[in-house]
Structure 1
């Protein structure tokens, strides 16, 4: 039996949970903490926000093109090398610029889902933003982004020992 995919409302709830976590973290962590490396590879909270924004923006571009019957954008490079290159490019962005990039991209995705993707449309399949050979439902694509954010936010919360009570 096929697994039931999340509904439009489920996806919106998940995205609003991510937004709440983002706001909690930027209010809880000072500027220095947000820019301090927290992984062996030297990634900071700021780096993770920028990284999440890139993936969200790539997903958003595919969804916008698909829902407006436009050609899909080129595949976004993925993997450790691509992530490292994107991270290096974003080093010059200020912390407020990274905050704005994350929040604007996130809010645009929320509005896109609320305004253009009902439960039926969410089942439609389209090429993945990061793999030319893979197609998946719009819903699965958005679930991947939600899981990606949640994974990174969890790592950040664990590092700074921030519980869900905040």
Structure 2
């Protein structure tokens, strides 16, 4: 069996705490930053501080939310029991719209993913033109489940089978 995909996920609590700290500093230093902005930036760019401040808060909160999502995925991968299913791919389906959605079964275990929505540390067949996933191919799928969906963390395939 040849390894086709293996998840590499890491999470830094330092980075999360640093982002939370930065967001708190932004909130509590509004008046000081506004005074500096009005004195040095506004005269050159004629941009109101409220626009700058709103964008800074918006992007900081967005980044913080994405880090919290990554943290939950990291915990799912590191704390969950990894399961393995070995068998032949069946019911392989592809739906193309604004993104590529694929699904297949191995021994009655369903797998479904999307090349845009699925986080990069889970398998989403982003190199679909290589044809690794196809009906009849023998694979070994290592995955974790959150109770609703199975996330592929490692995929092996029989490279001699075409």
| Structure number having the greater helix percentage | 1
Shorter-chain TM-score above 0.5: no
TM-score, normalized by length of structure 2?
0.27
TM-score, normalized by length of structure 1?
0.27
| Structure number having the greater strand percentage | 2
